[in-house]
Amino acid sequence: MGNSSEVQSDRHDEHGKRFVGRAKEMMTLDRWFDDPEAPLTIFSVTGMGGIGKSSLLSEMLSVSRNRGATAIWMDGRSCGSTPSVFLEYLSSTLGLETMESNVDLRPLSRLNETSVHKRLVIAVDNYEELALLESWFMEVFVTKLSSAGVLVILASRSKPTTAWRSHPRLRQRLVQMPLQHFTNVEVSEYIAGAGSLNTGMAGTIARMTDGHPFGLALAVEAANHRQNVNLAEWAELSYMISARLLLELTLPRLHPMIEVLTLLETANQELLSSVLQTEVTLEEYQALKRMSFIRSDPDGLALHDLARLHLLRDFRQREPQRLQAMRVRIAGLLMPLHAQAGPHEQRQIARRMLLLCQESMLQHRKYADVSTESLFSPLEVMREGDLPLLHRLLEEWCEYSVEPWQAEPYRPFLDELAQRYPEGIVLMRDRSGDPIAMFITVLVHRESSEMLLRYFPAEMKECFTPQELHCDPDQTDTHFAVLAAARDDVPGYKREELVGYMALDRLSLLGDGARVMLVATNPNLKLFLQSIGFRMRRARTRVCDQYEDQADVLDLDLRNGQFGEWVMSLLDPENQGSRIQHGSKDGDMDQLPWTESDLRKMLAHLHSPGELHTYAARVKGVQDGMELQLRVLDLLEGRAHGISQQDQMLLYAAYWTHAGNPTAAAQACSMSRATFYRHLRTALIRLTRVL
């Protein structure tokens, strides 16, 4: 038994995986079902990676369905970052769960039909991914649910935020369930369920795994497979899981499928077959399902997070070129699927594509050079006690980012934002849990813009029209990036690297088809953002300038179906080119986008201003060929920001100092001609974005 002899603590799911223990949590669920009033209740399931949060959610949903409730599972990673996206996902999930009943009924209408006799259970795994939606989720969505017959289960690594624990109405409905390692009794039961381990082996596994559920499952599976595993490796198992062990537990013919799952968050049988270009049989797919470090979810199979981390690290070290080639192949396969999919499926595909290209950005973008393994937990929303440390971060940021007279609004802004929209403040923590960096973004709508206008009127007027500032909260699709601040004393990391790491994480907000805008003065930040596809224009006034650095408005607008092109341009710039096009707005010129061919022809005439005249009209603010020549040379000689130093060197050698002599140009750059041509094409692609 687990913690109580009254609860059956060892169950098997349809794939033969055992669910052991968690008797206290399951008894709490049973009590809610036995309560004739069944008040609206929120379970908060929390704990470290591998502790069994997803397994508990799955078991709770199974029990709920057996008790006659409508029970749905949602992944916070697929819920989107705006209310409308979340509601579309919820509607899709409800529709699938109840498809055998009245097909004419709108799925969301079932929320209004909920009662003690017709109960609803909503489980959200990876709830921390809803950080930007937490205020809306709590104040609008949950509070509008029926006061009886609804159970919401939220699974996350961190305990509930202060907003939940201090909420005047919901705190009484909140039940915290922090998960711990298995007890000795639960460990013994799990091992006994394996049925074939001798007493000595069982005792060794019990001692060495220390009750860590994921480690226990792997150890038992290794023993069952008679793998030659040194059991001393299982000490502190949550930190010692290795790629070697995971692959030893896998049949060799399943290794290619494991590689695909390493790169994709989830994949079903059809997608695995498409990526591998060979049939994945039902027998092979079922074999994957039975493995202890693979879980099933509504969208297919997924590796446990810890397993995926180790396998990805191993793949990267062994075969980096094949890893990158596989990323490009998978993204190319997903891109047309993303364009053709419905809203919910499109968001899931978008997240997979973001996971594929994120590491490419980390490896190839100088501003965000975080190529070593991060020691930090995922970004999370601020919690009680963080505010004093955040003010310290803010004070440091103000010293190097704004002039003294500009710093005044930020202090009260941080306090008000922490009170009204804490989900807009995400943090990076060190191993001790202290904030070392924070990133602030705010969804722009009529309520949040009232606050933003009070503190940053000049920035808001530079970025937004009055209509955009007064849009409905449920319809907003634009994020305003306020600031990114980081300590400069973190061992092994520069401040700029931490900021870049957070910026890349926040790009996931655009996966639904959204937009982000900001006002920037830091030249390195402008260069980084332009290199990943942001459009830049000069600010209309000089109010936002910082010392000698001029303010510019930057935006990345992926609301019009351009997400796939953007991801591919990051993942495979040499072959994809720069295809992202922005619609004209606020007086922007209706100009044709530059192509690589256009740019090569123009640069071939760089020494002849008269020949450049025909291209001048295509560059904003340029009147004739002479001005165009000066504009391009400013970029190539580093007087204007926009392209990296390496790109400047390559283009300057190819089209100015050694024009028409590629051999001399390659020698000047200390490259072979083949390497020179390869890097030159990428430089041309990036220059098209600037022009």
At 397-408, the pLDDT tens digits run: 988 888 888 889
Same domain flag for 522 and 654: no
Q: Say if residue 427 is in the same domain as residue 552.
A: yes
d(CA 248, CA 255): 10
pLDDT for the residue 637: 82
CA distances from residue 234 to 18, 220, 296, 325 in whole angstroms, order as listed: 21, 11, 25, 34
DSSP class of residue 658 equals T
Spatial distance between the Cα atoms of 128 and 682, rounded to a whole number of angstroms: 37
Give the count of domains, the chain: 3
Output 279 or 248, whichever has higher pLDDT: 279
Task: Of 213, 199, 222, 309, give the one whose Cα is nearest residue 231.
Answer: 222
Averaged pLDDT of the chain: 77
Name the least confident of 3-12, 36-45, 180-189.
Answer: 3-12
Other Cβ atoms closer than 10 A to 43:
23
604-662 tens-digit pLDDT: 888 887 778 778 877 777 777 788 888 888 888 877 766 777 788 888 888 888 888 88
Q: Which of 124, 152, 178 is the last residue of a domain?
A: 178
10 Å Cβ neighbour count for 290? 11
With a cut of 60, say whether residue 233 has pLDDT above it.
Answer: no
How far apart CA 347 and CA 299 sit, in angstroms, is: 12
Shared-domain flag, residues 392 and 523: yes
| CATH number of the domain encompassing residue 549 | 3.40.630.30
Neighbours of 445 (CB within 10 A): 21
Q: Are 480 and 463 in contact (CB under 8 A)?
A: yes
pLDDT at residue 364 tops 50? no
Neighbours of 419 (CB within 10 A): 10
386 and 527 share a domain?
Answer: yes
Phi, psi of 595 (to 5 degrees): -110, 165
pLDDT at 229 over 50: no
Confidence of residue 294 (pLDDT cuts 50, 70, 90): confident
How high is the pLDDT of residue 611?
79
If pLDDT is split at 50, 70 and 90, which confidence band does 592 have?
low
Compute the residue count for the chain: 691
Residue 143 and residue 27 share a domain:
yes
Q: Which parts of 97-210 are beta strand (E)?
A: 120-125, 150-156, 174-178
In b/e form, how buried is each residue of 570-592, taking b as 16+ CB within 10 angstroms?
A: bbbbeebbbbbeeeeeeeeeeee
- Average the pLDDT over 416-432 and give the result: 85
Q: What is the pLDDT of residues 10-50, one digit of tens each?
A: 454 444 456 777 888 999 999 999 999 999 999 999 887 66
What global pTM score does this model have? 0.51
Supply 93's token pair: 């999930």
Q: What DSSP designation does 471 have?
A: -
Question: What's the pLDDT at 287?
Answer: 84
Assess contact for 346 and 338: CB atoms under 8 A: yes
pLDDT beyond 60 at 665: yes
> Which residue among 140, 157, 178 closes a domain?
178
Q: Given pLDDT bands bounded at 50, 70 and 90, which one contains residue 79?
A: confident
Evaluate whether residue 512 is within a structural domain: yes
Residue 93 has pLDDT above 70, yes or no: yes
- Give the pLDDT confidence score for residue 43 in this predicted structure: 95
Which of the pair, 188 or 536, is modelled with greater confidence?
A: 536
Confidence at 343, pLDDT banded by 50, 70, 90: low
Range of the structural domain that residue 32 is part of = 23-178
Residues forming beta bridges with residue 125, ordered by sequence position: 75
- Statement: residue 589 has pLDDT above 50: no
666 with 530, same domain: the answer is no
413 with 556, same domain: the answer is: yes
Is 305 contained in some domain? no
Residue 5 pLDDT: 32
**pLDDT score at 243:** 56
The CB density around residue 242, as the number of other CB atoms within 10 Å, is: 13
